[in-house]
Structure 1
Amino acid sequence: MTDQYRAMICRRLGPPEVLEQAWLTRRALQPGEVRVAIRASGINFPDLLQIAGEYQHKPPMPFVPGLEAAGDIIEAAPDVTGWAPGDAVILRLRGGGYAEEAIVRAASLLSKPADWSYEEAAAFPVAAATAWTALVQRGHLRAGETLLVLGAGGGTGLAAVTLGTRLGARVVAVASSAEKRAVAQSAGADLCLDPAQPDWWRDVRADVVFDPVGGALFDLAFRALAPGGRWLVVGFAAGDVPRPAANHLLLREAELIGVRAGEQGRRNPIAGVEQEQGLRNLLVGGQWRPRLGAIYQLDQAGAALRRMAQRQVTGKLALRIR
């Protein structure tokens, strides 16, 4: 090993194009840590927000973005058990994925399924954790209920469609293009709707709404919420944060529930253990395979994020690092 590795680094806040390639110096491992040679990194909407300085978690400058990755262990601290150099793993990160290497706690690793590519594996943890936390821990989705998924053609929306189907719900997917609706249908959606069509919401009575979009779609989709329904606020990909009227919640006796999958585990260790086990069960059970919309090279990270900002992505984007 050399003493340096490549990474895409954010030295100033702004649009995706502010990212630049840099060489970083490797540090020694601490107890409980492993060093992973990253083969691929997943790209997520929070990466875009973080680079712009608009995300809740604001790392000190400069920083390397990237919340998920996959690769091979190349070094382990002496006290690490259960993992060894050569093991193919999935990484859950708070940053650092847009790089050739990362150091992580061994306890946070997931095994990469042997029949998945590294790009597929890197696209798994963020979307899967968000869907699982939202539908299982926060939304308590039950078999036989109707789940309405907004933004169903994106990586997080597709994860919710897939998991909702596996949990036995009737899944209604809302997506903005024919391609995205077709992908949502292939993921298990029972009904796919075009939000541009008038009154698309009229015949839907959703017990649970999974909303990573926000914006103007919120007000329309809220009309589809059944009395006593649960609305899961996952994100604001549309760019605008809706301001729901409290009287609408009152009249429907509805619940408005915030979902932050990463913070859930950090604030509540028990919930964190449950989430970790939920992800392991999904991997072992083969309940879904991430769908990739495109793969970019490491130095094309800015272009990939620009495409995401323009909402031109079906499924997940990934960076091929090695």
Structure 2
Amino acid sequence: MKAVVIKEFGGPEMLEWTEVDDPAPAADEVVIDVAASALNRADVMQRYGLYPLPPGTSPYPGLEVSGRISAVGEGVTGWEVGQEVCALLTGGGYAQKVAVPAGQVLTVPRGVSLTEAAALPEATATVWSNLVLTAGLKAGETLLVHGGGGGIGTTAVQIGKALGARVVTTVGGPEKAALARELGADQAIDYRSEDFAEHGPYDVILDVIGGAYLDRNVRSLAGDGRLIVIGLQDGLEATLNLVEVLYKRLSVIGTTLRSRSKAQKAEIIADVQKHVWPMIESGAVKLVVDRTLPMSEAAEGHRLMEAGGHTGKIILVND
């Protein structure tokens, strides 16, 4: 088969579409013939050498795929060869085939094409696990979503609204602000001209930015507020005012989906299938796709993502 290989750490030109060995399913795994994968910020970090891989992880980038099951490992129940599925991965999605634990496989939601389904697992699992399972977002609370124009952001705005929260989001520019409001955001703040901290307080903040936003995030949280940091787009370090944390009884939590155990991921995926898939099938949560590219042009996808002009997900399609 072919896969996108990182020749050495560096820019997008370090991605190469080349021949590699086919995967075989271990016990409790299935092999998926990949129809499509989707880009995530973690893929860019991995390409730069800033995202250490968990032991045993495929070295190829790609945290989600859609496709058809072509092989089933020992002990797998509930999945059969030929089924159309999508799946959350620890790596290896930029390829023609991938082996994945059966607990991380999902059906394709009704009304979503097989290609589009590739863009669902990572964003939905990230948003649901952090907003609901970690932060405990409740109806009536105010949620701030940073990066409301990206794949995570567009999903978080909609799921937050579906859960009954008041949703505020930061975006870059009027077009992304208009999209955020169309998706249900009660307020869209252009971070280039406004300070989101002035529009608080917020009960829950979902942050993909990292260090540069830490102080303002903490200052703008309400009492008993929860800050969930899931990305480091603008800084690895920051100073934390512990007086603010103690006085307001704040929770500051850093999480990644990739490093969780297979058992934890299986629990999250089961919850997503149960709670988020009905939101998608009813139209309450819509997939936002910026564009599709051939998987052999993954480097171009990475350039687009790093430039920051895209809205929603960038999908890589196998020829």
Fold in common (TM above 0.5): yes
Q: Which moved more, 1:257-266 or 1:143-152?
A: 257-266
Render the CA deviation track for 1:138-167: whole Å, top value 9, x for unaligned: 111111111111111111112211111111
Letter in 1 for 2:314: L
Using structure 2 for the length normalisation, give the TM-score: 0.90
Look up the match of 1:83.
Answer: 79
Counterparts of 1:60 and 1:12 in 2: how far apart (Å)?
A: 19
Counterparts of 1:176 and 1:218 in 2: how far apart (Å)?
A: 19
4+ residue runs of structure 1 moved beyond 4 angstroms? 58-62
Note the C-alpha offset of 1:190. 0.9
Q: Which runs of 5+ in 2 are unaligned?
A: none
Look up the match of 2:290.
Answer: 293
Look up the match of 1:176.
Answer: 172
Counterparts of 1:71 and 1:238 in 2: how far apart (Å)?
A: 34
Contact 1:174 1:195 in 2 (8 A): yes
Identity fraction in percent: 34
Look up the match of 1:11.
Answer: 7
Contact 2:23 2:31 in 1 (8 A): no
Look up the match of 2:59.
Answer: 63
Counterparts of 2:25 and 2:57 in 1: how far apart (Å)?
A: 22
Look up the match of 2:121.
Answer: 125
Contact 1:11 1:63 in 2 (8 A): no
Note the C-alpha offset of 1:14. 1.3
Equivalences, count: 315
Change (3 A) 1:208 1:285: closer
Q: Which moved more, 1:65-74 or 1:219-228?
A: 219-228
Equivalent residue in structure 2 for 1:46, among 17, 32, 42: 42
Render the CA deviation track for 1:267-301: whole Å, top value 9, x for unaligned: xx4x5454122210211442423211111111110
Whether 1:253 aligns to 2:249 is yes
Q: Which runs of 5+ in 1 are unaligned?
A: none
Render the CA deviation track for 1:9-51: whole Å, top value 9, x for unaligned: 1131111210111112225443433221111101100001111
Counterparts of 1:198 and 1:69 in 2: how far apart (Å)?
A: 37
Q: Which moved more, 1:74-83 or 1:248-257?
A: 74-83
Look up the match of 1:110.
Answer: 106
Change (3 A) 1:14 1:132: same
Look up the match of 2:312.
Answer: 315
Render the CA deviation track for 1:173-212: whole Å, top value 9, x for unaligned: 1111112212211221111111123444323210111111
Contact 1:134 1:261 in 2 (8 A): no
Secondary structure of the 2:20 match is strand
Superposed, which structure 2 residues align to 1:255-294 within 5 Å?
Answer: 255-266=251-262, 269=263, 271-281=264-274, 282-286=276-280, 287-294=284-291
Equivalent residue in structure 2 for 1:243, among 239, 242, 246: 239
